[in-house]
Amino acid sequence: MEGEDTFLNSMRDAYRRSRESIPGPAPAEPACPSLPRMAQAAADGWQPDELAHVAGCPRCQQIMAAEFRIECPGFAVLAHFAAGDSPFAAALGRHLEEDCDGRCRRRLQSPWLQAAAAMLRTGTLAENVFQESMRHLAISDVHLAAAPAFLRLGGETPIQVHAVGPDGLIAVTLKQEGPQLLAYVESPSTSLAGHTVMVELLGQTRQLRVPVILRMVDGVGAFGSHSFGDLAALTADLGPDCEILAILDR
């Protein structure tokens, strides 16, 4: 695919620049995962021996830092960083200090991510359970400073900031109604009626976290909503660039 080719070419260029900028001999090629393998592993998962190598290899850390410059790491990677057990700690530290535009620092303040990191740190959250929970995570960027224009597409037709988790179980929609900003949470599964979805607005200066209880809707799904209040006041409180996050609270 064109996007994948662009990503791999960027990784190769970053790798070449990183090798040229590091004094000393080049690494033994068999020791480091190849660039295509690193790109694939970043998307699909790493083997334990690869992670063990990358964790202790300055050159691989520099390559991963270049990758994070192209695309910020996801919540799972950041949660392990916050837990203190990330094999990419050096790369992430460099990314947060030099390259990140604020998104990763904002995500690291997520109450859900902090809670998950604490449980990973103490061993009370199994890795497979954590990875499964990530399948329910719905998240989207929101630029509050553009409101009300950011919710309108031509004339007075409202549009919606909408996000769906990878498994389609949880969806969240952020919408302006008059001066209010509302979040609507829905699921196609009637079995989630009575369950709680945690909704977070992650701002530059503050994070809001609210529970939304899902109720049965016409026997075809579950639905809940929450008003975050006055949009203008919210923008002043959180800052213009936010993300909305929704995840099932098991």
Q: Which of 53, 27, 26 is nearest to 41 (CA)?
A: 53
Give Cβ neighbours of residue 63 (< 8 Å, ≥ 6 apart).
11, 14, 15, 18, 35, 38, 91
Q: What is the pLDDT of residue 29?
A: 46
Could you tell me if residue 127 is inside a domain? no
Q: How confident is the model at residue 13 (pLDDT cuts 50, 70, 90)?
A: low
In this structure, are residues 240 and 202 in contact, taking their beta carbons and an 8 Å threshold? no
Number of domains into which the chain is organized: 2
Which candidate, 126, 139, 202, 123, places its Cα nearest to that of 171?
Answer: 139
Task: Single out the residue in 120, 153, 172 at which a domain terminates.
Answer: 120
Q: Three-state SS for 193?
A: coil
105 and 171 together in one domain: no
Domain containing residue 225: CATH number: 2.60.210
Same domain, 112 and 142: no
130 belongs to a structural domain: no
Contact criterion met (CB below 8 Å) for 54 and 61: yes
Please check whether residues 203 and 175 belong to one and the same domain. yes
How much is the average pLDDT of 87-102? 90
Instruction: Identify the residue with better confidence: 198 or 148.
Output: 198
* Residue 90 forms part of a structural domain: yes
Q: How far apart are CA 246 and CA 164, in angstroms?
A: 9
Mean pLDDT of 172-176: 90
Read off the pLDDT band of 165 (50, 70, 90): very high
Mean of the pLDDT values across residues 148-152? 52
As a whole number, mean pLDDT of residues 139-155 equals: 65
- Asked if 113 and 177 sit in the same domain, the reply is no
The verdict on residue 165 lying in a domain is yes
Kindly give the pairing relationship between strand 207-213 and strand 215-217.
unpaired
Domain boundary among 58, 90, 120: 120
Summary mean pLDDT of the chain: 84
Is the bond preceding residue 158 a cis peptide, omega within 30 degrees?
Answer: no
Token pair listed for 185: 């949470």
Return the structure tokens found at 237: 């409180």
Looking at the chain, the whole-number percentage of residues with pLDDT higher than 70 is 82
The residues, ordered by sequence, that sit 6+ positions from 141 with a Cβ below 8 Å of its Cβ are 161, 241, 242, 243
Residue where a domain stops, chosen among 55, 86, 120 = 120
Q: In this structure, are 104 and 163 located in the same domain?
A: no
Residue 78 inside a domain? The answer is yes
- Stretch among 9-18, 78-87, 99-108, 224-233 having the lowest mean pLDDT: 9-18
Which domain, by its residues, includes 110? Answer: 2-120
Q: Measure the CA–CA gap between 91 and 62, rounded to whole angstroms.
A: 6
For residues 229 and 147, membership in a common domain is answered with yes
Co-location of 74 and 29 in the same domain: yes
The type of residue at 205 is T
Largest alpha-carbon pair distance within the chain?
Answer: 68
Position 155 in a domain? yes
Ranges 4-18, 85-99, 100-114, 140-154: which has the least confidence: 4-18
Instruction: Please report whether residue 103 resides in a domain.
Output: yes
Given this model, what pLDDT does residue 22 score?
Answer: 45
Residues 189-240 pLDDT 10s? 999 999 999 999 999 889 999 999 999 988 889 999 999 999 889 888 998 8
Phi then psi dihedrals of residue 6, to 5 deg? -60, -45
Q: For position 28, what pLDDT does the model report? A: 45
Task: Please indicate, yes or no, if residue 125 is contained in any of the structural domains.
Answer: no
Q: Are residues 101 and 160 in the same domain?
A: no
